[in-house]
């Protein structure tokens, strides 16, 4: 069972972001947490994405916490956020926004506002 699932961009991610997320994952693992990080732990060789979505769904289901590097341009991340939201009704999962300083409240309905509310 994975204690922490990381939602983050996998494709088209810049090197700085990749390094920051990698550092974050390493720090969690130093704390003794088991981390599922999709670029490393989800098989990315699926030409359609169905298996990737299924693997991530299972890992999100079993995770105690979901940590999110929010990137509005990452379709896969938004999909995983939706799956996480679906599980929140029946399971008590802790939500953490990794790059919270970059996620700003908007004056209208938005994914950012939903995440900020869920993360408390």
Residue 104's domain is classified under what CATH number? 3.40.50
Q: Is the pLDDT of residue 1 over 80?
A: no
Question: What band does 75 get if pLDDT is binned at 50, 70 and 90?
Answer: very high
Amino acid 2: pLDDT: 56
Q: Domain range spanning residue 28?
A: 4-119
Q: Is 116:89 a contact under the CB 8 Å cutoff?
A: no
Amino acid 32: pLDDT: 95
How far apart CA 77 and CA 67 sit, in angstroms, is: 11
How far apart CA 65 and CA 3 sit, in angstroms, is: 6
Chain-centroid distance of CA 1 in Å reads 16
**Total of domains in the chain:** 1
29-61 in b/e form (b: 16+ CB < 10 A) is eeeeeebbbbbebbeeeeeeeeebbebbbebbb
Amino acid 89: pLDDT: 66
How do residues 30-72 score in pLDDT, each as one tens digit?
A: 999 999 999 999 999 998 999 999 999 999 999 999 999 999 9
């Amino acid at each position: 069972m994975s204690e922490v699932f990381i939602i983050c961009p996998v494709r088209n991610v810049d090197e700085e972001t990749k390094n920051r997320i990698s550092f974050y994952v390493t720090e969690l693992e130093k704390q003794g947490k088991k981390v599922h990080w999709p670029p490393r732990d989800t098989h990315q060789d699926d030409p359609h994405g169905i298996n990737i979505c299924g693997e991530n769904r299972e890992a999100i289901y079993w995770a105690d916490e979901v940590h999110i590097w929010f990137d509005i341009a990452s379709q896969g991340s938004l999909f995983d956020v939706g799956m996480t939201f679906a599980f929140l009704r029946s399971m008590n999962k802790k939500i953490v926004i990794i790059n919270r300083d970059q996620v700003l409240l908007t004056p209208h309905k938005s994914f950012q506002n939903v995440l900020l509310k869920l993360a408390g």
